[in-house]
Amino acid sequence: MEQKYLTIKQAATLLGVSSLTLRNWDKKGKLVAHRHPLNNYRVYLRAEIDKLLNKIEADPHERKKLKINFIEES
C-alpha cells in the first residue's frame, strides 16, 4: 500500500532538493506542507509530489524553470 503522506526528508529526496528548500517553498506558499496531527511536523501529500515530479519529467527544463520562478518571485 502506497503512503498517502511523505515526510519532509522523503519529499526532498524525491524532488532532488534539500529539506530547507521545501521549508522555504512552504513559507512562500510554493508547495504547501500539511502538518502531522500528533507532532506538527511538515508532511506532503504523495499525490502533490508525484504531480510536481510528472511536470518535471514531462519537460527536462522544468526543474530549471521552477528554480528560476521561485527565485524571481521571492
Q: How far is CA 46 from CA 3, 14, 65, 74, in A?
A: 7, 10, 22, 26
Question: By C-alpha distance, which of 18, 4, 38, 56 is closest to 26?
Answer: 18
At 8, list the grid cell. 519532509
Task: Return the amino acid letter for 62.
Answer: E
pLDDT for 30-48, tens place per residue? 888 999 999 999 999 999 9
Tell me how many domains the chain contains. Answer: 1
Could you tell me the CATH number of the domain that includes residue 63? 1.10.1660.10
pLDDT interval class at 66 (50, 70, 90):
low
Which of 10-14, 22-26, 44-48, 60-64 has the weakest average pLDDT? 60-64
pTM to 2 decimal places: 0.73
Domain of residue 62 covers: 5-72
